[in-house]
Structures are given as structure tokens and as C-alpha cells.
Amino acid sequence: MPRTRVHNLNISLDGYAAGEHVTFKEPIGGANRLFEWFDGRAIHGVDGVDGPWTLDRALTSLWGQADLAAVQAAHPDAILLPKVERAADIAAAKASVPLWAMIETPLAILNVAEIAASGVTCLAMGTNDLLKAMQGQPLPDRRNLWWAMSQTVMAARAFGLSVLDGTHNEIDDLEGFAASCAQGRAFGFDGKTLIHPLQIGPCNRAFAPSREEIAQARRILQAFAANPGKGVIALDGRMIEGLHAEEARRLLALAEAIEGSA
């Protein structure tokens, strides 16, 4: 496979059957070599326990503690916890590396502000599991998930976190994938979780500032620089406020960070 630029590699341990717990510990130590091949960061998933257990109970169990210890020994950039539903789930992890939370159940959506305030650094939507828990059906425009998507973005922004949109499951549907990325960016997501290398390039293009956006951001800042002391100016017949200058600076900083990581 050719070398591909991806920002994060999620090695998920979620969904394994109980009898498989002892089988996935060994590959974790080689995770750093694996994610270097993808030229990104390693984000490990830690498995929960199906059934009546809550995630905080699972993480404090012998299995959960063993999983956390094994993952932290690999020195990942973060640990992605599945099925997070409350702040107690995050407190139970007690990890020495940053924690990310999967938002993928109805209770997680109802508690998303509490989760965002619990010390995680990123919220990642698990739209497949959420739809299943809702007993809903996938729709092309995802309108049955709009409220949940908005709530998750709002919570992330309120507490200064990164936030990722859920997957697009049809691997060969690049047109639909591009539309899903555009929708996610319009909602305010920072990026999207991916399931196949074919999705990496289109995703990066969708969420990175375009040349036109960069040029417009520079024009906005230049216009304010030419009108010192003014909080509101006109540019191309449109009212521009200080908030537009702030957004322009954010966009240019993002573009610079992306360029620096290339």
C-alpha cells in the first residue's frame, strides 16, 4: 500500500468477545511502528463490557485495568473510550495520556456537556451505534442525527475540545462521502472518522481550508489592518465584524498547522 497521510490511526479494541480478551494484547506493542507507516498518530480504543455493566465498572474491572495498562505501555497519543455515557466513565479511566470519548448512545447525547467537561480532549461521534440504539435507520442526509450532531459540536466548543464526525460506511461511494464531509464541516466538526484509505484524501481536502478561504481570510485581516480602531467595516459590499477577523485568524492558523505537518 502506498504511504498515505492520515492524522490519527485508531486501533480499536471495542467489540471483541469476552473470550478474545487475551488475544489482542500482544500486537499493541507494535502499534507505534504501525502508525508510523500511516504517518499519523496512534489513538487506541479500549474495550467496554457488553451487558448490564457500565463503562466505569468495566474500566475498574481486572480486564479493564489490564487493557488500560497494556495500551498506556505502548505510549499512544490518546486513548479513545467507547460507549462513554457519563463523566464517571472518564474518571474511571485514570490514564496518563489524553482521553477521547466516543459519543454513541442516547444517554451520551443527553449527557454530552457533562462528558465534555470531564477532562477529555476530543469527542468522536459513533453514528452507527447511535442509530442502532435509537432504533433508527440510516438516511442519506442524516437528518435524524442532526440534533445529536449539533449537541455534540456545541458541547465540544463550549469546553474547547476537538470534535469528530462519524463514519461514512459505503467505501466506494466517494461522492456521498464528500457530501458527508461537507455536511460535517458545515455543522462545525473538525474532522471525520474514516474506515478506508480511499477516504483519507477527500476528507483532508474537505476539512482543510481551501485556497479561496485562505485568500478571503487574508483580505479580511488586511481590511481591518487598514481601518485601525474599527469594529465593523464593509468588504465587497458585506458587513464584516470583529468575529469575522477572529475566524480568519483561526482559519489561517489551521492552514499553517496543516502545512507544517505535511
Percent of the chain scored above 70 by pLDDT? 79
pLDDT digits (tens, 9 = 90+) for 12-65: 555 544 444 443 444 444 443 333 333 345 555 555 544 555 677 777 777 777
Any idea where the domains of the chain sit in the sequence? Answer: 8-207, 211-261
**pLDDT value of residue 141:** 95
**pLDDT value of residue 36:** 34
**pLDDT value of residue 105:** 96
pLDDT digits (tens, 9 = 90+) for 85-95: 999 999 888 77
**pLDDT value of residue 174:** 94
Q: Is the pLDDT of residue 201 over 70?
A: yes
**pLDDT value of residue 95:** 73
Which homologous superfamily does the CATH classification assign to the domain defined by 8-207? Phosphoenolpyruvate-binding domains (3.20.20.60)
> Quick one: average pLDDT of 148-159?
98
**pLDDT value of residue 44:** 54
**pLDDT value of residue 75:** 81
pLDDT digits (tens, 9 = 90+) for 158-191: 999 999 999 999 999 999 999 999 999 999 999 9
Q: Is the pLDDT of residue 220 over 80?
A: yes
73-82, 90-99, 133-142 — most confident range: 133-142
58-72, 91-105, 150-164, 227-241 — most confident range: 150-164
DSSP secondary structure string, the chain? ------SEEEE--TT--GGGTTTSSGGGGGHHHHHHHTTSEEEEE-----SS--HHHHHTSHHHHHHHHHHHHT--SEEEETT--SHHHHHHH--SS-EEEEE-SHHHHHTHHHHHTTT-SEEEE-HHHHHHHHT----TT-GGGHHHHHHHHHHHHHTT-EEEE-----TT-HHHHHHHHHHHHHHT-SEE--SSGGGHHHHHHHHSPPHHHHHHHHHHHHHHHTSTT-SEEEETTEEEEHHHHHHHHHHHHHHHHHHHH-
**pLDDT value of residue 22:** 41
Q: Is the pLDDT of residue 200 over 70?
A: yes
> Quick one: average pLDDT of 185-202?
93
